[in-house]
Amino acid sequence: MKSNILQPLLVQEELIRRQIFIFTPEEFGRVFGISATRTKYFLENYTKKGLFLRIKKGLYVLKHHLPNEEQIANALYRPSYLSFEYALAKHGLIPEMVYSVTSATTKPTREFVLNNKVFIYFKIKKQAFTGYTLIKEGKHSFFLAEPEKALVDYLYFVSLGQKSFNERINISALSKTKIIKYAKLYQREGLLKIIQKI
């Protein structure tokens, strides 16, 4: 799309056509071939007019075509992948509904609130930042921990005393070999002891 036809409706259509639901000003500028100054003006102007929603500094979404919470979670704080209770519930390992979207990151622990939804990021060791896959659901894609890794991430914080153990967790279908492999990445004796008991 050429910059001389940068009209709001056409911009929206182009972003939807390219399946770009979350973007930075830099990404927007590249898509539409416009300068950083013009990008800044356009995004600020049309955020005020209700076309875009700024979900944090330097990160925008189309207001009426919001990405799902998984995509938002991945983009809000990078690098990150969905894990802990959220991933355990998504994999059907715990029966409870979860109210926070929990992710693992190598950056400092953070919490964001967006549209009354809480997004929590727990810092894990760099060597343990693995064991996740790209999931595609319709037009949306996001990084999600494998069931075994979600369990290990969660139990690591149980071993630290920062999370309480959920007695209703069901791990019967999981690979014990994989669980131990991921647990060893944390190099924590207390974590391995918990795993041996479950």
pLDDT tens digits for range 39-79: 999 999 999 999 999 999 999 999 999 999 999 999 999 99
What's the distance, CA 196 to chain centroid?
Answer: 30
Specify whether the CB–CB gap between 152 and 183 falls below 8 A.
Answer: yes
Three-state SS for 101?
strand
Last residue of a domain, one of 34, 62, 90: 62
pLDDT of 2: 47
- How do residues 77-88 score in pLDDT, each as one tens digit? 999 999 999 999
Domain count, the chain: 2
pLDDT of 140: 85
Three-state SS for 123?
strand
Residue 197 has phi, psi (to 5 degrees) of -85, -25
Angle at CA of residue 91, ends 185 and 165, nearest 5°: 60
- How do residues 110-153 score in pLDDT, each as one tens digit? 999 988 999 999 999 999 999 999 999 988 899 999 999 999 99
pLDDT of 3: 46
Residue range of the domain that includes 58: 3-62
Q: What is the pTM of this model?
A: 0.90
Residues 117 and 57 in one domain: no
Residues 58 and 74 in one domain: no
- How do residues 179-191 score in pLDDT, each as one tens digit? 999 999 999 999 9
pLDDT of 5: 59
pLDDT of 138: 86
Residues 116 and 174 in one domain: yes
Q: For residue 168, which of 82, 83, 98 has the smallest C-alpha distance?
A: 98
